[in-house]
Amino acid sequence: MKKYSQIIIAIIVLVGACYFLPETDRNILAGQTRPGSGRVEKAIFAGGCFWCVESDFEKHRGVVSVISGYAGGVGKNPTYATYAQDGYFEAVEITFDPSVTSYQELLDYFWRHIDPTDAGGQFVDRGSAYRTAIVYFDHRQKDLAEQSKMAMGKSGYFVKPLVTEIVPFSTFYPAEEYHQDYAAKHPLKYRYYRFRSGRDQFLSRIWRKHSESIAPGEPFRNTKPLNKNDVKRRLTPLQYRVTQKNATEPPFDNLYWNNTRAGIYVDIVSGEPLFSSLDKYKSGTGWPSFTRPLVSANIVEKKERTFWSVRTEVQSKQAGSHLGHVFSDGPAPTGLRYCVNSAALRFIAGADLQKAGYSEFTSLFNH
């Protein structure tokens, strides 16, 4: 009996210790890692009512958590009653897994869920507390945000100039608990508010003619794949066999297996950006190998079953080109090896990105 009592006491102590740990430490015990561990990153966006922005980003693949809060003001511990008068604006803090999604993809997603031309608020919510902003944590995020804003301004989607601010991180305070996950806690109230706000009506009007750009995570590149006849005419026989017939080129005898130049790799058919030299490594296989995609939304993975094995095929999303396969024997930080045929790729050097129409990636190679 004494032995069982000791076991029960030990369990109570362990549970109690976990309960009194700070929330971040409890998250670590639950399998989440502390920001900065190399497995998660943070981003802050302001797009008007944080109920809506939080709900939108929670649907994005690779997002670990979204916290509604107040950013950019002065003074400590703002509340819903005081944040506006202290210069704060509603924002969300996003924790995301960079091996699943990228900061660039989050930027693309952000633009298509706000009105970046409205300096006086967002939709039914008026005032500077509802202004749009991108809050950056470092120079890399700043560069990507500025490039993304410039590209969106030139895209033709909006007639008016973009007024979304790009500002350095200063402060962020989580909002009150009743604001967190508001859409999930109060679905009827949230849907009524969102419909009456005019947000969805505006977004539908802007993106109706560009429905291919609405899908979460896709970049704003509207290249149109060639028809089958054009594909066969423009590609070399090897490129055609690889991309259209799932063939495999010979190892150590292909264009990019030992390419060490800085730049990006795009789909040979559609021009979709797929991989970066920053993620390329020497795998010893004789084919170009990468630890992650440059734009993960441009990659489609499909199970490939044979009598003796199951592999994961990798295709480009827009063109449907066969690229190669992904394996789980790669190095850190992802542990993945994207083994890709050179014949499915076109390399664009970092110095040529602007000229080739890929200006949003130039900042990756400017340092």
Cis? peptide before 78, omega within 30° of 0 = no
Q: Is 345 within 8 Å of 293 (Cβ atoms)?
A: no
In angstroms, rounded to a whole number, what is the distance separating the alpha carbons of residues 306 and 249?
A: 20
Kindly give the residue spans of alpha helices, DSSP state H, lying in 186-224: 187-197, 199-207
Q: From CA 257, how far away is CA 339, in angstroms rounded? A: 10
**Coil, strand or helix at 126:** strand
β pairing state of 322-327 and 337-340: antiparallel
Q: Please state, in angstroms and rounded to a whole number, the distance separating the CA atoms of residues 240 and 344.
A: 9
Angle (deg, nearest 10), helices 139-154 and 103-111: 40
* C-alpha span between 25 and 31 (Å, rounded): 10
H/E element, 141: helix 139-154
Assess contact for 132 and 48: CB atoms under 8 A: yes
Residues classed as catalytic: 49, 339
- Sequence-separated (6 or more) residues with CB below 8 Å from residue 335: 328, 329
Report how far apart, in Å, the C-alpha atoms of 340 and of each of 205, 246, 254, 279, 360 are.
39, 12, 11, 13, 23
Closest CA to 103 of 356, 237, 313, 294: 294
Which two tokens mark 350? 């970092």
* Cα of 22 vs its chain's centroid, Å: 28
Beta bridge partners of residue 94, listed in sequence order: 43, 66
CA dihedral sign, ordered 161, 162, 163, 165: negative
